[in-house]
Amino acid sequence: MQDIYLTGGYYKLRKALVTGASRGIGEAVALQLQNEGYQVYTPTHVELDLEDAMSIDAFCKKYSDITFDVLVNNAGINDIHMVEDITEQEMLSMMHINLLAPIRLIRGTVPNMKKQQYGRIVNIGSIWGVAGKAGRTVYAATKHGIHGVTQTLAVELAPYNILINTICPGYTLTALTRKNNTEEQIQEISSCIPMGRMAEPEEQAKAICFLAGEGNTYITGQQITVDGGYTSL
């Protein structure tokens, strides 16, 4: 880890790895961590193909001399189909990207976290891992699964001061949301949310970055839903 000398001593530059940071919530997380002074790594699909185990292993090996203090497993895909219409490839892609890739990245980054007795990991779940919605059979399975990973590793990693949590974002007003919905549809969805609006990506990022930050010293193994009260109805 790079050391920066400041008056009175050394300050360690924290490093963060954020997947799916090219847009939306991931981009907001990367920007906030940068603003908080982290050196943020946001690999492209070419450098890190989350559907390919060999690509993930190669990435972890390439950066094995770097200790990532923070890992945010944000990347994910959601192919929406009724259960009888889901293809084998769609099932495998969601399982690999949404569930197996985070496990593989944790496997590759945790050894260095253990050595320094510090780490913060945030897995991104979904409100569809909390509540049900038609067309999300496999997606929901992966999001339920990722919190199972969180709970298990909270127990396994706590002795090393490595905290891991799941954030479940609700409807969020990303560029993709605007692209895929008319303004009328956005208003209709917003009317079903107690807060009366969708979240901004930056609001999701605040919750994620708190759990990923040094201010979080004791919260681990938790699933926190950031949805404006939607799943409380």
What is the tens place of the pLDDT at every residue in 59-93?
A: 999 999 999 999 999 999 999 999 999 999 999 99
- The mean pLDDT value for 219-226 works out to 99
pTM metric for this prediction: 0.94
Report pLDDT for 12: 72
| Distance separating the N- and C-terminal Cα atoms of the chain | 46
pLDDT at 11 over 70: no
Position 5 pLDDT exceeds 70: no
218 belongs to the catalytic site: no
Least confident interval from 11-20, 140-149, 180-189? 11-20
Residue 217 included in any domain: yes
Number of domains in the chain: 1
| Sign of the CA dihedral with 91 first, then 48, 105, and 162 last | negative
Which residue in 159, 91, 161, 163 sits closest to 122, CA to CA?
163
What is d(CA 54, CA 217) in angstroms, rounded to the nearest whole number?
A: 34
CB 67 within 8 A of CB 51: no
Q: What is the mean pLDDT of residues 178-196?
A: 97
Q: Is residue 88 part of a domain?
A: yes
Decide if 194 is inside a domain. no
Q: Could you tell me if residue 184 is inside a domain?
A: no
204 — alpha (psi -120 to 50), left (phi > 0) or beta? alpha
| Residue 50 located in a structural domain | yes
Question: Residue 227 maps to which CATH number?
Answer: 3.40.50.720
In this prediction, residues 25-35 reach a mean pLDDT of 99
Domain containing residue 211? 3-171+201-232
Mean pLDDT in residue range 146-162: 99
Q: What is the pLDDT of residue 95?
A: 99
Q: Which of 130, 140, 146, 205 is nearest to 172 (CA)?
A: 205
DSSP state of 120: E
| Domain membership flag for residue 185 | no
Question: Do the domain assignments include residue 130?
Answer: yes
Tell me the angle at which helices 53-62 and 101-116 cross, rounded to the nearest 10 degrees: 20
The active-site residue out of 41, 63, 139, 171 is 139
Decide if pLDDT at 4 tops 50: no
Residue 43 pLDDT: 98
pLDDT number for residue 3 = 42
